[in-house]
Amino acid sequence: MTKQTHFSEKVADHAAAVFLEKNIGTAIFIGADIENLIAENAQVIYQDIQAPDFFGALISYKGKRFVVLNTHQDLRARYYSAAHEMWHLALTSAMFGEQSEVIQYDAANPIFDSERAADHFAAALMLPEETVLKIWDKYVQGQETPSTQLVQEVVVRLANVSAMPYVAVCRRLKELGLPVSRTIVRWDKSDWHDYLQYADFPPSPLDEKASFDKFAGLSAFVKKQVDHQQMTLLEAARFLTRADPNQAKRYLKMRQEKIAQIEVDDD
């Protein structure tokens, strides 16, 4: 592990512990409620974006923050992405309470890797150490070298109760120093799906996507910006092209009418 990675993950660990203590507690899994936590602090935009490498993003515009989540991804990936974006959201706000300035100071260090920290923060937030260890101990029952089959079963159980990707669970177990073989840690999403084809676990809806688009409140925000002349009609139309295409067309029409009127006045 490089010095940069070690420092970034250490900051993320501290931030996750502070966030959990202040907002949730460490005795439960947040799961799908991560999206509600984001909605309390930002405008959530759900979009079905058919791009396999796009999971989510935080967008700031004139003091307003938007978190975009791709509903084309399966639910596990979507919730993990939400937790990843929560790092960026919390870092730009006071969601870490009295520790906000300390964490922001560390995050400003030149060697700090914000994306690595976001991934580590997401895992620590959604898979709290205390709760993960309790579940591990319950199933492994003190075995120093649990069988591969047992580890696979524990990973799936943890992934289901936490609503997290199997790969993220494996990585988290390894981070916590638990005896997970390198072979299993190296498994990717397709390996886990292959395993589940013959395992005794029933199909999980978390492995499926729930595609939809939802932009509640976005049109009202844009209208307010336009009314106060803080956003041009063209900017408004572009902003709402996918979220509210009908309103976007109206803004374009209004812009064309204004241009036409200016040309008439010039004549």
> pLDDT tens across 199-238, in order?
999 999 999 999 988 886 778 888 988 999 989 999 999 8
pTM of the full structure: 0.86
Q: Are residues 184 and 172 in the same domain?
A: yes
- Are residue 11 and residue 120 in the same domain, yes or no? yes
**214 backbone dihedrals φ, ψ, rounded to 5°:** -150, 125
Say if residue 211 is exposed, middle or buried (CB neighbours under 10 Å; 0-12, 13-18, 19+): middle
Does one domain contain both 156 and 229?
Answer: no
Note the pLDDT of residue 1: 80
Q: Give the per-residue pLDDT at 88.
A: 95
Element (H, E) at 60: strand 56-61
Query: What are residue 68's DSSP bridge partners?
Result: 45, 57
Tell me whether residue 197 is in a domain.
yes
What tokens does 70 get? 């791709």
Q: Whose CA is closest to 204, among 262, 161, 238? A: 161
Bigger pLDDT: 214 vs 87: 87
Last residue within a domain, chosen from 188, 207, 226: 207
pLDDT tens digits along 159-195: 999 999 999 999 999 999 999 999 999 999 999 999 9
Q: Distance between terminal CA atoms of the chain?
A: 70
> What are the pLDDT digits (tens) for 117-133?
999 999 999 999 999 99
Tell whether 145 is covered by a domain.
yes
- Sheet of 64-70, strand order: 43-47, 64-70, 56-61
In a domain, 50, yes or no: yes
Q: Does some domain include residue 238?
A: yes
> Do the domain assignments include residue 212?
no
**Among 71, 96, 126, residue at a domain's last position:** 126
Q: What is the domain extent for residue 247?
A: 218-266
Residue 213 lies in a domain: no
The whole-chain average pLDDT of the chain stands at 92
Q: What is the model's pLDDT at position 201?
A: 95
241 against 257, higher pLDDT: 257
pLDDT tier at 266 (50, 70, 90 boundaries)?
low
**DSSP type of residue 145:** S
State the CATH number of the domain containing residue 88. 1.10.10
- The β-bridge relationship of strands 43-47 and 64-70 is parallel
- 134, 185: one domain: yes
Residue 96 shares a structural domain with residue 141 = no
Concatenating the DSSP letter of every residue in 169-204 gives HHHHHHHTT----HHHHT--HHHHHHHHHHSSPPP-
Last residue of one domain, picked from the residues 107, 126, 145: 126
Asked whether the predicted pLDDT for residue 103 surpasses 90, the reply is yes
Can you tell me the distance from the alpha carbon of 226 to that of 36, in angstroms, rounded to the nearest whole number?
A: 28
Interacting residues of 73 by C-beta distance below 8 A, sequence separation 6+: 55, 81, 209
Please check whether residue 108 lies inside any domain of the structure: yes
Q: Based on the structure, what is the number of domains in the chain?
A: 3
In a domain, 193, yes or no: yes
